[in-house]
Copies of this chain bind each other. A is one copy, B any other.
Amino acid sequence: MSEVYAVRRGRLRERCAATGSTGALVSRPANVRYLAGGAPPGAVLLLGPAEDVLLCPVAPTGDSAEGRPDEQLRLAVLPSASGDPAVAATELARAAGVTSLAIEEHHLAVARHRAIRSVAPRLRLADLSLAVEQQRVVKDEEEIACLRIAAEITDQALGELLESILVGRTERHLALELERRLIDHGAEGPAFPTSVATGPNSGRPGHRPTDRRVEEGDFLCVQVGADYRGYRCEIGRTFVIGTSPADWQIELYDLVFAAQRGAREALVPGAAYRDIDFAARQILTAAGHGEGLAAHTGHGVGLEIEEDPQLAPAAMGKLDACVPVTVEPGVHLPGRGGVRIDDTLVVRQEADGGPELLTITTKELLAL
């Protein structure tokens, strides 16, 4: 596994060299973890001309939630109260002969930038920009394997919840129980705050659980995902509570299902991000639900729950193979509720069988 991180750092180093930088300072935690295998709190990674160093304000605990730093990497644990590891890294870079250091200007605060500048006034500071984020978009098979396990855990947790009695329980309790089950099945924790929305709350994107109790006749929307070794997936499903869904519920469900299927089927390498969004959005808009739709239909997932690409109307770019994304359209009717259906899939060549669905819980409208 250690090789993987060295290869990733090698690719980034080449990219920096091509723009004239002989060193790079990576500070954004998910980027540090991607390149170093682990990101202890506050750690920064220096890619230097001779060696790479992970500078940590506290010693790594080996805790699975922060990952395990690559053993090939030099580890420097800074004495406590010695200040910003980004400053220590800059001094190290200067001592190693770096003349141009690429930093993450989208992450590093102005005050930290100034502190770096003050210890190395003659060092050229370049912008690494989103180089690491871009490198992270296409996943390797180890990463996809982690996402696959995260999705399995999530499907299991959701499946078990559906077998229990739901009426009378609050959104908060159902969310907590799902999170407990994720951990039971081996997750580090939830990939994001679990959303459980019932009745009039259903269909709201990112709804935070309240004390409302599940009632007969409700729509119940669940959005949940596991974090497995840092990799985060998500699934969203909508159910009806009681034996027979009302006509408006069936109609709305079928509509969102059609939109979600449209976007899933558009997931082919080379497709424009915005065309995926359009595939779902046009169906919902044509049915009169254009207003109030979420700003995007889906997004990349990986070490963060929202990564590039964004599947949104104004997004620029095209899908590659081996990019995991969510497809999660939904409609919320104020006062009545709504439907969201959300899968995590990996974009694959048609010859490889087309998009790989990671979250396999049924999308039939179940009455629970």
- Which residues of A does B touch, CB under 8 Å? 61, 63, 65, 80-81, 103, 105-114, 127, 172-173, 176, 179-180, 183, 204, 208, 295, 312-314
Contacts and interface: CB of A to CB of B under 8 A. Distances in A.
A173 B184 CA distance: 9
Contact of A183 (B109, B110, B172, B295): B172
Contacts of A295: 80-81
Nearest to A65: B208
Contact of A109 (B80, B110, B173, B208): B110
Contact of A81 (B61, B63, B313): B313
A259 to B, nearest CB: 18
Closest 9 CB pairs of A and B: A105-B110, A80-B295, A106-B111, A105-B111, A81-B314, A176-B180, A110-B113, A63-B208, A172-B183
A180 B295 CA distance: 32
A99 to B, nearest CB: 20
Contacts of A105: 109-111, 114
Integer count of this chain's copies in the complex: 2
Contact of A106 (B65, B109, B176): B109
A80 B180 CA distance: 35
A90 to B, nearest CB: 14
A54 to B, nearest CB: 19
Nearest to A175: B183
Contacts of A114: 105
A312 B80 CA distance: 10
16 contacts: A61-B204, A63-B208, A65-B208, A81-B295, A81-B312, A81-B313, A103-B110, A105-B111, A106-B112, A108-B109, A109-B110, A110-B110, A110-B127, A176-B176, A176-B180, A180-B180
Nearest to A188: B208
Contacts of A103: 110
A103 B114 CA distance: 14
Given A65-B208, A106-B112, A176-B179, 18 more contacts: A61-B208, A63-B208, A80-B295, A81-B295, A103-B110, A105-B109, A106-B109, A106-B110, A106-B111, A107-B109, A108-B109, A109-B109, A110-B113, A110-B127, A173-B180, A176-B180, A176-B183, A180-B180
A295 B41 CA distance: 14
Contacts of A109: 105-110
Contacts of A208: 61, 63, 65
A78 to B, nearest CB: 11
Contacts of A113: 110
A293 to B, nearest CB: 9
